[in-house]
Amino acid sequence: MKFIRENIVKILLVVGILIVLIVILIACSGRGTGVGINSYSRMEDNLKNASTKFLNKHQDLLPTEEGKIVKVQMDTIYTKKQMEKMTAVDDETIKCDGYVNVSYRINKNDEKSYRIVPHIKCGDKYETEDLYIHVLKNEDVVTELDGLYKIGDEYIFRGENPNNYVQIGNNLYRIMSINKDGYIKLINAKKPYFDSVWDDRYNVTVQKNEGINDYYVSRVRANLIEYYNNEDSYSETEKNVFVKNNVCIGKRSEGNLLIDRTEECSQTIDEDYLSLPILYDYFISSVDPNCKSIIDESCANYNYLSSLGTLFTATGSKENTNVVYSINGSMEPIKCNRTKRLAIISYIANVSYAGGKGTIDNPYLIK
């Protein structure tokens, strides 16, 4: 007690300094946010939560077409006073702006399940990136060897081992291409694991049960739809980012050997989450200079899709209604009533980049 009485002034001074330091630390931890957010991730979460409440009251701003993305600006969601408080985490002089991308899918209960993805930009301090934007910014566009190629209005990964791996949930995929709208086309990264007959109906033209090569009404399409709807096939994480997109189902002339998709994409559908590759997908992925047509076996060289083995395609023959095209090193016309394992195509959109470099050991991650 004597020590305390003799040193009371010093003790009070030390306690006072400690209190001031604690106050400063607390202030700094929230500085630049104005709303108690101490990281950009939390700022994104707050924007998502605020937009969810806002859009519940303003449903006229929600998308009206499944899989389509609607942008809602942050200044529509927040009040002017709230907007003024949105600043960079480490520099309150830098104002933040942003928006949310909104899309929906129909879930197993036939209800609309909305996906809201926040984007913020705080000067040069931080910016949320869509996965497709990150890939296009960080992958050099090349004209030879493995990598990302610009072909028409698409970016296409080609070669033996391009850095195009992406992990969604527990499953690993490879990015095939990115279209002009930012939709990312995927294929399973591992060998196919789903068996199906292409079609086994009675064909009146050949008077046999050899199937009909109309993809829209085929057994294989029906089986893919059933597979998608099976609760054990895909996680909710995957289903939340899968979107419907145009699928090429046109028939191809047996004499057309060009690495070209004009015939195959002369007919499309946009009703499905899952589909099959077309002939063009496989052959455009090879960078072997000797791969000049769809009958060149060298097209299996320097082609990451060759690791998936024999593939069914969605493409049927124009001349023979019981024939579809398979890939086994090169193009192979086969009867529709054959059964093979399926390499499955899916599309994702409205996903943000969360990490990774696209390699098999460090795949792209999404949020």
pLDDT digits (tens, 9 = 90+) for 170-205: 899 999 999 999 999 999 998 877 899 999 999 999
The confidence band for 330, taking pLDDT boundaries of 50, 70 and 90, is: confident
* Shared-domain flag, residues 219 and 330: yes
Q: Give the domain-ending residue among 70, 100, 128.
A: 128
Which range of residues forms the domain containing residue 101? Answer: 31-128
The verdict on residue 270 lying in a domain is yes
Same domain, 246 and 260: yes
349 and 229 in a single domain? The answer is yes
**Six-digit token pair at 153?**
């209005």
Which pLDDT tens digit goes with each residue over 25-50? 434 433 333 343 358 988 999 999 99
d(CA 302, CA 264): 24
Residues 200 and 86 grouped into a single domain = no
Do 206 and 121 lie in one domain? The reply is no
Query: 20 in a domain, yes or no?
Result: no
Classify residue 203: in a domain, yes or no.
yes
Asked if residue 182 and residue 259 are part of one domain, the reply reads yes
Give the pLDDT mean for 243-255.
95
4 located within any domain = no
Q: Which of 93, 128, 163 is the last residue of a domain?
A: 128
Structural domain count of the chain: 2
190/123 same-domain check:
no
Of the ranges 8-22, 32-46, 103-117, which is most confident? 103-117
Written as six digits, the tokens of 44 are 């994104």
Of the three residues 78, 99, 128, the one that is the final residue of a domain is 128
* 214: Cα separation from own chain's centroid: 28
The region of weakest confidence among 30-34, 151-155, 177-181, 320-324 is 30-34
What's the mean pLDDT in 334-343? 95
CA dihedral 259, 265, 266, 272 (to 10 degrees): 160
Flag whether 99 is in a domain: yes
pLDDT (tens digit per residue) in 120-130 = 999 999 999 99
Quick one: which of 328, 295, 326 has its CA closest to 313? 326
Asked if residue 14 is part of any domain, the answer here is no
